[in-house]
Amino acid sequence: MNRPSLADALEDRRAVMRVFVDPDGSLKSMPTRLRKRLVVLDHVARSFAIGEQFDESEVNNRLRAFHPDVAMLRRYLVEQEFLERRDGRYWRAGGTTDV
């Protein structure tokens, strides 16, 4: 199965955000369908400035505002190429900058 493009997934952004994200920006739950998950991960990735690097504790602290399972969020962000990781440092590698 091919990965849906982020652009295609974002066509449903408003509906996905309404179902999976609270008004304060925190996650109600993580979608199981990849297309919807990409929308949620894009929302989370936008909290990381492009061009900055973060150590794991900084990433965890930032992710905690979205969901208590920071390991799950971090893993999904890296797997879906919203964040990259090398030598214990993370940086934003994908996602939108303006929706």
Give 60-95 pLDDT, tens digit per residue: 999 999 999 999 999 999 999 999 999 999 999 999
Is residue 97 in some structural domain? no
Match 């905690």 to its residue by tokens.
Answer: 64
Q: Please tell me the total count of domains within the chain.
A: 1
99 part of a folded domain: no
81 within a domain of the structure (yes/no): yes
Which pLDDT band, with edges at 50, 70 and 90, does 1 fall under? low
Q: Could you tell me the pTM of the whole model? A: 0.93
| Structural domain harbouring 76 | 6-92
Q: Please, which pLDDT band fits residue 98 given cuts at 50, 70 and 90? A: confident
